[in-house]
Amino acid sequence: MKRKAKGGWFATILFTLVSILYVSPIFIVLMNSFKKKTYISRQPFLLPNEKSFVGFENYITAIEKYGFLKAVGVNLLLTVGSVVVILICTSMFAWYITRVNNKVTRGLYLLCIFSMVVPFQMVMFTLAKVTDTLKLGTPWGLIIIYLGFGAGLAVFMFCGFVKSIPIEIEEAAMIDGCSPIRTFFSVVLPIMKPTYISVGILETMWIWNDFLLPYLTLDRGKYQNIPMVIQMMQGSYGRVDMGAIMACLLMAVIPIIVFYLSCQKYIIKGVAAGAVKG
């Protein structure tokens, strides 16, 4: 029983206006990123004019003086590395604790759920000390920390899915002589593909934007991710270079929008799947 809603055109017009309002913050940043820094705080809502237009100067400052591209590299390494490691390790973990059912595995499952609820402030100070002691304050080392900290959600979602896979398929593979490792990688892993995408997207969203964990654990003199660079530029007292900040904000947003528009279908599905399991 599908039909046109009453007043459909009214809703369309209203939502179009709201949508324009919704994306306007991004356009305001785009506009300001081409203005001279002294004009930004004085007249943020005006388009750049002859006097205030500076071309790509702010972008050049952001890249050369504040090392923005290096921060992008740190972000990429941290996000891609951690997500790949999380996906492989936690899916194996989840399959094992679902298929081997005893007190230990049930305990591990509860521990994972528990870790999802704990706020980061509870462990931040001690976690920074632990990473410092173990010399894990590099992007490579942080991958281990992210595996530990992101395991909760990932294990939880993978377990939910493994339970729905008929065990007969795996039994058949094992009877045919597959070792558990081979069974996992050539039978279970392909079946779980949708869950890999969902978990991958949720973890990517978290790690790409994460500020406090890398801020406290990374060796700040050597490595900074994008949120750290932006926070450092604004947080430093004295002269704040608004122009370079605008350029950084925009360069931080663009890859996210590109990623979003290119895998929107999966992102929205991933979010919905993550929520239903919750």
Min dist. Cβ of residue 195 to other proteins (A) = 16
What is the nearest approach in angstroms of other proteins to the Cβ of residue 196?
A: 15
Report the nearest approach of other proteins to the CB of residue 163 (Å).
Answer: 15
Q: Minimum Å distance from CB 48 to other proteins?
A: 15
Question: Locate tokens 């002589």: which residue?
Answer: 177
| Residue 168, token pair as written in the block | 């007969």
CB nearer to other proteins: give 138 or 209: 209
At 47, give phi and psi (nearest 5°).
Answer: -65, 155
Tokens of 234: 């604004």
The nearest distance, CB 162 to other proteins, in angstroms, is 12
CB of 209 to other proteins, least distance (A): 3
Q: How far is CA 37 from CA 27, 69, 87, 243, 245, in A?
A: 17, 21, 43, 4, 9
Hunting for tokens 């304050």 — which residue is that? 137
Q: How far is CA 159 from CA 27, 91, 187, 261, in A?
A: 42, 8, 16, 29
DSSP code, position 165: S
Query: Tokens standing for 154?
Result: 């990932």
Nearer to other proteins among residue 60 and residue 257 (C-beta):
257
**What is the rounded distance in angstroms from the CA atom of residue 31 to the CA atom of residue 48?**
7
Contact 266, 251 (CB under 8 A): no
CB of 218 to other proteins, least distance (A): 14
* 8 A C-beta contact, residue 120 and residue 216: no
CB closer to other proteins out of 53 and 260:
260
Residue 27, CB-side half-sphere exposure with 13 Å CA sphere: 9
